[in-house]
């Protein structure tokens, strides 16, 4: 299968988890991947895992210049056939622990970053391009300890619909990927014991009784980025093993 042959796709937050799985798959299917991250070690590892066609860029979504930096990189690469806004940051805590610094950090990475990236890159998208925005089932769940994170992901779902409306006349599709409990390093900010208890609690609520894999979530994103989803826009694709059906 070569769904992405000669197509140029930019993926933010591609050094681990779902983004990494997607970058490797697109690269293996002939795509020209432009992948971002901010950890030097992970960036070096990503370069080793992708072909010589790929470009790996140090880019921090929380930087006010994140969008301008990506646009500059695209100027030397040509337009984009796909854009996957996947970079994100997670933290949990009690409501009483929320302060201005915590709010600003979460919003800078998870909302302001994608907004500035989209604003800077919208003009670089080729007609018929596809955009995927990674949100989370946290936007639906109402978890007491995840109020800030959940709010940012809810904002992304709303932005997805607005962007789909704004870009539709150029035949550009915009959809939200909404992963639930996926087995990635994303929750490793938690202490090991707390994380294991949390994951066991979540799995017990799943219709499929297991966590998903990064590859399974990436497969849905790649469907949305591909021509197979040519009449899909403004939609929310939940990948959660049945978590939110109950």
Strand partners, 34: 10, 55
Nearest to 238 by CA among 220, 211, 222, 225: 220
**At 173, which helix (H) or strand (E)?**
strand 173-179
Rg (CA), the chain: 17
Strands 32-37 and 8-11: parallel
Dig out the tokens for 32 from the structure. Answer: 């020209």
Strand partners, 164: none
89, 140, 149, 237: which one is catalytic?
Answer: 149
Distance from C-alpha of 29 to C-alpha of 36, rounded to nearest angstrom: 19
48-67 b/e (C-beta count within 10 Å ≥ 16 → b) = eebeeebbbbebbbbbeebb
The answer to whether 140 is a known catalytic residue is no
Helix (H, G, I), strand (E, B) or coil at 161: helix
User: Which residue in this structure is represented by tokens 């890159």?
Assistant: 121
Helix, strand and coil in the chain, % to nearest 5: 50, 20, 30
Active-site amino acid positions: 149
């Amino acid at each position: 299968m070569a769904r992405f042959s000669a197509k140029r796709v930019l993926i933010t937050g591609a050094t681990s988890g779902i983004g990494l799985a997607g970058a490797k798959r697109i690269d293996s299917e002939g795509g020209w991947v432009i992948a971002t991250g901010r950890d030097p070690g992970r960036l070096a590892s990503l370069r080793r895992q992708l072909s010589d066609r790929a470009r790996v860029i140090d880019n921090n979504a929380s930087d006010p210049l994140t969008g301008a930096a990506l646009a500059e990189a695209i100027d030397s690469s040509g337009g984009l056939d796909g854009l996957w806004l996947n970079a994100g940051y997670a933290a949990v805590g009690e409501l009483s622990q929320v302060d201005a610094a915590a709010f600003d950090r979460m919003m800078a990475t998870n909302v302001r970053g994608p907004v500035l990236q989209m604003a800077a890159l919208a003009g670089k998208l080729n007609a018929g391009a596809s955009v995927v925005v990674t949100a989370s089932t946290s936007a639906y769940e109402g978890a007491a300890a995840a109020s800030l994170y959940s709010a940012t992901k809810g904002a992304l779902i709303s932005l997805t619909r607005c962007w789909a409306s704004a870009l539709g006349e150029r035949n550009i599709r915009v959809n939200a990927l909404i992963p639930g409990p996926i087995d990635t390093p994303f929750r490793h900010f938690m202490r090991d014991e707390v994380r294991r208890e949390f994951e066991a609690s979540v799995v017990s609520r799943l219709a499929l009784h297991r966590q998903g894999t990064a590859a399974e979530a990436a497969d849905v994103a790649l469907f949305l980025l591909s021509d197979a989803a040519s009449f899909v826009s403004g939609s929310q694709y939940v990948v959660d093993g049945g978590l939110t059906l109950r």
